[in-house]
Amino acid sequence: MDQRRAEPDPSYNNGINQVALYGEFTAAGNRKVRCAVSLTERDLTVQRITSAPVGRNKLVLSLRDCVGCRAYRGEDNADPGAYFAAYFYPFKRRWMSSGVSRQRVEQCFRVVTLQDPRTNLEEAEKWARAVRERCVRQQNLRDGVLFSEVRRPCRVMLLVNPQSGKGQALTLYNNHIQRMLNEAGVPHTLVITERQNHAREVVREADLSQWDALVIMSGDGLLFEVINGLLERSDWEEAIHTPLGILPGGSGNALAASIHHYSGAMPVSSEELLVSCGFLLCKGLVSRMDLASVHLPSSPRLFSFLSLAWGFVADVDVESEKYRHVGAARFTVGTLVRLASLRVYKGKLAYLPAAADCKEEGDLGNRTTLHCNNQSSSFCPASLLCRPSRDSPCQNAAHHTFHNSCHSNNSLKVRRTESTPSRNATKALTGPSDTLLPSLDQPVPSDWVVVQEEDFVLMLAMYQSHLAEDLLAAPDSTLDDGVIHLFYVRAGISRTALLRLFLAMEKGAHLATNCQHLVYSRVRALRLEPYSPKGVITVDGEVVEYGPVQAQVHEGLARLITG
């Protein structure tokens, strides 16, 4: 038989395409299949050695899609061969449906250079090491992305809430995540949360020098606990720099959907989102993430990484809890139910606008410089749709409102854990100071915009892109843009128009619907004073004390593994 071999291509002999390693091995699963394997700085190329023309049966796998590679001896002691296996998660077409998602590809080879098992294992280890090193270098090469730090987490605390979402977080861990982390060589310790605030207590007390990353496999509620636990520590400044990871195990999974979106990938199903976030976690790149501090009338200050909501969105979040068995679809069901009894919420909203073209760094002492961000002039995609003029004092909205009749059903969930009043802007002992916020009983500063309308259907402040897996609420948000993306919908909107807005939000196109009732502003701080005696306010999807609330963004305060 005329066996054509895939010898190293001479045209590859320059730069990144230069073949660093070349070998011929049998496939681990079928010793009759021989493969020519070559490794460049960028790719692993596998060419089956057959009589077919060179190029057929050739697989080129990008090392950017590789999470790890390991070498090992076979189980049969009489077998002198050793093995190396490389694990890739490239985007592939879905079976039976359109679009692409990350799907697992394993390439495993048997090395029998000599009859000596040790030499064979050394050869396999050489390959595994070379693949791993190039994977890391490919991550380092990524440019144009504001990744500040490259660090492979090696000791990970993985906090899993077994009750989150449909109650399947542990099954999802067993079916997907455990294997991915093993493939990536990331040792981890599983902490299964037992009750509310368990994770908060664990991270508040933990010896953080023992952990390179804290990863949360749950909904957004558990990350909320972890962030607040870190910021309650006396060493909060260091603690909040602990890299955090998020794996979707809840029904909302907004932050997981946001980092998937930031990675440039197309929307995917819930299980595909888990694989995508698992992949990003294994890649181990750490980015800065904005947090917002939130002040409530009589509860301690909270830190929030996602959203602050009042009105329609907050009500849907709370009321749709009972539909959590349907997973991410719970928000769609909740939206339809609440639309049927659309309400008007009365209150006063004020905000500090973000500078149009400048990005001010956080107000921590060590980051006081100002950076002009030339690109941010194109920030507001629908600049025509940002309607600051609607906030002008001359705008006189008709004030025929219904008082909010929403009854707070949050007695079990409300985060009123301590009783320290916070009448001063920053009363808490730990965490950064809120230089932009006066105390809640003082008027807002004169450079704030006071919204003239007092009748709303919703107020939604977002610091990340997604409100839920399939709700791209703030399409222009980035992880650390230092901006609160403030949306509100004025009273008077029809049910149909509101439904259209939420349908458009699935693709992040709600600003382009030209809805006259929707107002969007980029802000750095805000205050809401609800007038209705009862209602719901949520922070990161969790119900908090109802009443006046204010928040300011802290740019890039936390660290998140974003791949």
Ligand X SMILES: Nc1ncnc2c1ncn2[C@@H]1O[C@H](COP(=O)(O)OP(=O)(O)OP(=O)(O)O)[C@@H](O)[C@H]1O
List residues with catalytic annotation. Answer: 220
Per CB under 6 A, the list member of 153, 252, 432, 535 interacting with ligand X is 252
Place of tokens 């520590």: 233
Name, in order, each residue with C-beta under 8 angstroms of 292's C-beta and a sequence gap of 6 or more.
303, 304, 305, 308, 461, 463, 484, 551, 552, 553, 554
Q: Is 173 helix (H, G, I), strand (E, B) or coil?
A: helix
Closest of 491, 492, 519 to residue 390, by C-alpha: 519
**Is position 162 an interface residue for ligand X (rule: CB under 6 A)?**
yes
Q: Which residue is nearest to ligand X (CB)?
A: 219
Q: HSE-up of 397 (CA within 13 Å, CB side)?
A: 19
**Is position 221 an interface residue for ligand X (rule: CB under 6 A)?**
yes
**Is position 222 an interface residue for ligand X (rule: CB under 6 A)?**
yes
d(CA 26, CA 33): 6
The nearest distance, CB 22 to ligand X, in angstroms, is 48
Per CB under 6 A, the list member of 123, 183, 220, 319 interacting with ligand X is 220
Question: SS3 helix, strand, coil % of the chain, rounded to 5?
Answer: 25, 30, 45
**Touching ligand X, residues 253-282 (CB under 6 A):** 253
The nearest distance, CB 465 to ligand X, in angstroms, is 16
- What are 160's strand-pairing partners? 192, 217
Per CB under 6 A, the list member of 107, 228, 242, 251 interacting with ligand X is 251
CA 358 to chain centre: 25
Work out the burial of residue 548: count CB atoms within 10 Å of its CB; fewer than 13 is exposed, 13-18 middle, 19 or more buried: middle
Selected range binding ligand X among 158-166, 378-386, 439-447, 452-460, rule: CB under 6 A = 158-166
Per CB under 6 A, the list member of 193, 287, 335, 562 interacting with ligand X is 193
Please, are residues 85 and 132 in contact by the beta-carbon 8 Å criterion? no
Contacts with ligand X, 514-543, as mask; x by CB under 6 A: ---------------------------x--
Complex with ligand X: residue 228 or 242, whichever CB lies closer: 228
Selected range binding ligand X among 65-73, 163-171, 262-270, 493-501, rule: CB under 6 A = 163-171
435: alpha, beta or left? (left if phi > 0; alpha if psi -120 to 50):
alpha
How many residues of this chain bind ligand X (CB under 6 A)?
23
Report the side by side order of strands in the sheet with 21-27.
54-62, 43-48, 30-39, 21-27, 105-111, 82-88, 66-73
**Touching ligand X, residues 299-358 (CB under 6 A):** 324
**Is position 407 an interface residue for ligand X (rule: CB under 6 A)?**
no
The nearest distance, CB 165 to ligand X, in angstroms, is 5
Selected range binding ligand X among 203-211, 218-226, 356-364, 501-509, rule: CB under 6 A = 218-226
Selected range binding ligand X among 31-39, 116-124, 214-222, 339-347, rule: CB under 6 A = 214-222
- Cβ atoms within 10 Å, residue 28: 18
541: alpha, beta or left? (left if phi > 0; alpha if psi -120 to 50):
left
Torsion angle, alpha carbons of 82, 88, 93, 97, to 10: 90
- Cβ atoms within 10 Å, residue 556: 21
Q: What backbone torsions phi and psi does residue 65 show, to the nearest 5 degrees?
A: -95, 5
- Cβ atoms within 10 Å, residue 2: 5
Alpha helical stretches, state H, 141-188: 169-172, 178-183
Closest of 196, 195, 203 to residue 158, by C-alpha: 203
Selected range binding ligand X among 71-79, 219-227, 257-265, 366-374, rule: CB under 6 A = 219-227
As given in the structure block, the two tokens for residue 75 are 């189980």
Complex with ligand X: residue 131 or 328, whichever CB lies closer: 328
For 399-454, strand residue ranges (E) read 449-450
Name, in order, each residue with C-beta under 8 angstroms of 243's C-beta and a sequence gap of 6 or more.
151, 153, 212, 213, 214, 286, 559, 560, 561
Selected range binding ligand X among 138-146, 194-202, 336-344, 441-449, rule: CB under 6 A = 194-202
**Is position 250 an interface residue for ligand X (rule: CB under 6 A)?**
yes
As given in the structure block, the two tokens for residue 285 are 């790149």
As given in the structure block, the two tokens for residue 397 are 């909205």
- Give me the count of residues in the chain: 563
The nearest distance, CB 538 to ligand X, in angstroms, is 10
Q: Give Rg (Cα) of the chain.
A: 26
The nearest distance, CB 301 to ligand X, in angstroms, is 18
Selected range binding ligand X among 172-180, 188-196, 298-306, 545-553, rule: CB under 6 A = 188-196
> Which residues here bind ligand X, judged by CB under 6 A?
161-165, 193-198, 218-222, 225, 250-253, 324, 541
